[in-house]
Structure 1
Amino acid sequence: MMAAKKILMLVGDYAEDYETMVPFQALLMVGHTVHAVCPGKTAGQTVRTAIHDFEGDQTYSEKPGHNFALNFDFAKVRADDYDALLVPGGRAPEYLRLNAEVVALVKAFAQADKLIAAVCHGPQLLAAAGILQGRECSAYPACAPEVGLAGGTYVEIPVDQAHVQGNLVTAPAWPAHPAWLAAFLKVLGTEIRL
């Protein structure tokens, strides 16, 4: 029997819709506890999401997504209370990395050698927290310079693949969900039997 884990999901306004909704629901489905939080907001409040799609343009397109309901208060979060951190992409990491409490929280997960998963633009937050030094990290290709400037090695992989280095699980974008979530669950120690 698998022991349920406790996972913190850091989201914010205009987090990518699929990268927020799909991991949240999938992790709950397999029996884990997921606290979705946003600085300055409490359980029951929402963040707006954005749908990023790949339609043949030089970069992704953006459309309105859903209002995603938070289920825990950011002010009550302590890294010690969780087994893992999950950071969706979208535009949220861009402004979340300006929040000193968020950056300190990400650093606390890294210093405790806890599992950290980030997808798409999520590594912007990891770079800002200074935890990519000497690490390999995938991300949306436009984030490659930030990974490098933070002392990390950007790993270029197909958009539907994931990269694992120890307790760091990263992927370029939501088409990688099957590979990224499978890798996250494996590192977390989750066994799914059908």
Structure 2
Amino acid sequence: MSNKKILMITGDFTEDYETMVPFQTLLTVGHSVDAVCPDKVSGDSVATAIHDFEGDQTYTEKRGHNFTLNATFSEIDPADYDALVIPGGRAPEYLRLNPAVLAMVRHFFTTNKPVAAICHGAQLLAAAGVLEGRKCSAYPACMPEVNQSGGIYAEIAIDAAVTDGNLVTAPAWPAHPAWLAQFLALLK
């Protein structure tokens, strides 16, 4: 496997595991990952949120760690990257309002580069208009957005993932083993 340069677009109250685990895993296997957030620079941090499944009708949310960004959003060019990672959590909800973020997401689809999105990351995919006719898993509360954007919501187990072309998606962090394995397969 050749080392790839991967872009991670994240933001405040990104889901803790869905940010830290892929970031660290991809570094561990030899890839480089630039984590960015609009209006922040390398060395700034984003707050994370811990989403857990504790038997309630939806996830619970607690304050997580601070995650340090290692690149500056305004200085990156998506053409310099081989792949994209979109963590879930609260961040996609507001990141989808940023035209520059949506343009970056679209770049990875128009160039057919690998994209891994998990949980609420589907909100960013839907807003970017890249799901037409594609299978996409997400946290179940995002199903309406996936379907309304022309995607095909993949109703899979919480620890499963689905690949459709260059896109790997999963419902939530319990799917990390499947999600990351499928993404790593696309990076070869």
Report deviation, 1:76: 1.3
Task: Determine the C-alpha separation between the residues in 2 that align with 1:106 and 1:97.
Answer: 10
Letter in 2 for 1:43: S
Letter in 2 for 1:177: H
Task: Determine the C-alpha separation between the residues in 2 that align with 1:140 and 1:83.
Answer: 26
Compute the RMSD of aligned alpha carbons. 0.5
Number of aligned residues: 188
**TM-score under structure 1 length normalisation:** 0.96
1:184 aligns with: 183
2:152 aligns with: 153
Task: Determine the C-alpha separation between the residues in 1 that align with 2:107 and 2:175.
Answer: 27
Report deviation, 1:15: 0.2
1:7 aligns with: 6
Stretches of structure 1 that go unaligned for 5 or more consecutive residues are: 190-194
1:74 aligns with: 73
1:40 aligns with: 39
Letter in 1 for 2:58: T
Stretches of structure 2 that go unaligned for 5 or more consecutive residues are: none
**TM-score under structure 2 length normalisation:** 0.99
Identity among equivalent positions (%) equals: 67
The residue correspondences of 1:41-56 to structure 2 (distance < 5 A) are 41-56=40-55
- Listed one character per residue, the Cα deviations across residues 115-145 of structure 1 (whole Å, up to 9, x for unaligned) are 1110000010000000001111000000000
The residue correspondences of 1:77-88 to structure 2 (distance < 5 A) are 77-88=76-87
Q: Secondary structure at the match of 1:175?
A: helix
1:192 aligns with: none
- Listed one character per residue, the Cα deviations across residues 153-181 of structure 1 (whole Å, up to 9, x for unaligned) are 00000000000011100000000000000
Letter in 1 for 2:86: V
- Name segments (4+ residues, structure 1) moved above 2 Å: none
Letter in 1 for 2:6: I
